């Protein structure tokens, strides 16, 4: 049923990949980071992988801009001290601007190298990241007591995204991206183009 809806939604109408007044909606998921497992040797780990939604408006066939929201959460439970739990989460939002090179390359060369099926792009992302940490029953060896810690911090940063889209139709594509402009380093997802032709 879900697959049928996706196909139906992606095949309604015929639109350029990016054009003025068209909108692109991209739900994404990034790969969760397990590289720090050695630091949590005695902990059970659960993660909500970095997820995000980007919405961009096409300014012309080569440029789009918009905004995004993203979230991820890591939780660590001590296997021997039940009340020792560590939670780290990040909610991010901000603005994004993207240059689409496939149309540009084809316009400059006079050849349709990508046949309308691919989009190569680079994005600049201005992020506001709201980071929260909550640590319960953490052992303080100096004072020999268990302590609780809670911290919140907001970070502003500018990060890139390097991406490739493959269009299954003029309105529906799959994407693969790299770069810290997303909540995670390596990201995949889909995009829908909606709006004016």
Whole-number pLDDT of residue 111: 67
Rounded to whole angstroms, how far apart are CA atoms 94 and 157?
10
Strand 43-58 with 145-167, pairing: unpaired
> Using alpha carbons only, how large is the chain's radius of gyration in Å?
21
Domain range for residue 12?
A: 2-195
Q: What angle do CA 97, 183, 11 make, to 5 degrees?
A: 65
Secondary structure class of 9 (helix, strand, coil): helix
Whole-number pLDDT of residue 196: 65
CATH number of the domain where residue 89 is located? 2.40.160.20
| Tens digit of pLDDT at every position of the chain (197 positions) | 433 434 433 433 333 455 667 899 999 999 876 666 567 778 888 889 999 999 999 888 789 999 999 999 999 888 888 888 889 999 999 999 999 887 677 777 776 655 568 888 999 999 999 999 998 888 777 777 888 888 999 999 999 999 999 988 888 999 999 999 998 899 999 999 888 65
The DSSP line for 84-138 is -EEEEEEEEEEEEEEEEHHHHHHHHHSS-SSTTTEEEEEEEEEEEEEEEEEEEEE
Whole-number pLDDT of residue 16: 45
Domains identified in the chain, total number: 1
Contact 130, 164 (CB under 8 A): no
């Amino acid at each position: 049923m879900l697959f049928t809806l996706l196909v139906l939604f992606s095949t309604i109408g015929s639109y350029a990949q990016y054009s003025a007044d068209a909108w692109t909606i991209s739900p994404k998921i990034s790969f969760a980071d397990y590289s720090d497992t050695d630091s949590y040797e005695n902990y059970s780990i659960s993660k909500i992988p970095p997820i995000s939604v980007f919405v961009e408006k096409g300014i012309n066939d080569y440029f789009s801009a918009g905004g995004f929201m993203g979230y991820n959460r890591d939780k660590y439970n001590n296997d021997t001290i039940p009340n020792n739990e560590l939670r780290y989460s990040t909610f991010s939002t901000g603005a994004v601007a993207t240059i689409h090179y496939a149309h540009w390359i084809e316009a400059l060369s006079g050849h349709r190298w990508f046949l309308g099926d691919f989009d190569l792009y680079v994005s600049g992302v201005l992020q506001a990241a709201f980071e929260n940490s909550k640590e319960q029953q953490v052992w303080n060896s100096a004072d020999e007591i268990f302590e609780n810690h809670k911290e919140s911090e907001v970070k502003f940063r500018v990060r890139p995204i390097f991406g490739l889209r493959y269009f299954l139709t003029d309105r529906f594509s799959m994407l693969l991206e790299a770069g810290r402009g997303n909540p995670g380093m390596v990201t995949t997802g889909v995009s829908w183009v909606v709006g004016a032709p």
